[in-house]
Amino acid sequence: MVITGITFMCALFSTFVNINVACYVQEWRNLTMEDILFKSDVVVYGKDVEHGKFRSPNDVDSRFVVYCVLKSGKFRIPENLIIESIDEEELCANVAYQTDVGEEYIIGLTPQLSGFMKYANVYPLHSSAFPPTVENLQILKGICELQHWSDPETTSRGNCPYLPSIEDECKSLTPAPPTAKPPLERDWFDLILDAFNRGTNTKLDYLNTIILSSISLMYILLK
């Protein structure tokens, strides 16, 4: 009876966590295509050519032919990729079957330790695959971090779309580093006030307060 009660409580707790933590997306800011691809480790333009169980009988994968690498993330990107577990539906994540066979996409990916790729799940409410329209490609070409396109490692066919270079007008999505604030000038009275604000609850606090008070008094008299 006790074990059954514990199991029931664990199930309730797990359900509570799944509902209130894993799927709590009301506060998510809507991300644009360029935001999602900027946050992806790898971005490529290419074509989904086949779906199948290439690695495991339990998972569906995608064969993806890369025409152009828009962002390599310092990874070696071959012409033929395996995007693994495209049928996987994670909690609160729209990651399943983002690409259809025979269609071309601009897609954000995440390299895996297996050597394959996975969909870049950077935003639970939107996929990381987008149609390679001229408008979308032009938008990405205008992002400083996404404008250095190249062929995949195993080919030099020059399949990257040609668009006018706009390097002088590119927009950077990298956050600016925080500016360091200069330390505030503090005198003895500030130190005494700090000591009292912290509360003199220990012998050391009392001793520090007495010492600071004495030094401050000497400072006033000598001044």
Task: Specify whether 217 is located in the same domain as 140.
Answer: no
What is the CATH classification number for the domain harbouring 100? 2.40.50.120
pLDDT digits (tens, 9 = 90+) for 35-57: 999 999 999 999 999 999 999 88
Task: Specify whether 138 is located in the same domain as 197.
Answer: no
In a domain, 27, yes or no: no
Task: Specify whether 49 is located in the same domain as 127.
Answer: yes
Task: Specify whether 59 is located in the same domain as 155.
Answer: yes
The pLDDT assigned to 97 comes to 84
Question: What is the C-alpha to C-alpha distance for residues 189 and 196, in angstroms, rounded to an integer?
Answer: 11
Task: Specify whether 110 is located in the same domain as 201.
Answer: no
Average pLDDT of the residues of the chain: 76
Q: What's the domain range around 204? A: 188-222
pTM (predicted TM-score) = 0.66
The pLDDT assigned to 48 comes to 96
In a domain, 102, yes or no: yes
Task: Specify whether 42 is located in the same domain as 125.
Answer: yes
pLDDT digits (tens, 9 = 90+) for 159-179: 888 876 555 577 787 776 766
Task: Specify whether 71 is located in the same domain as 160.
Answer: yes
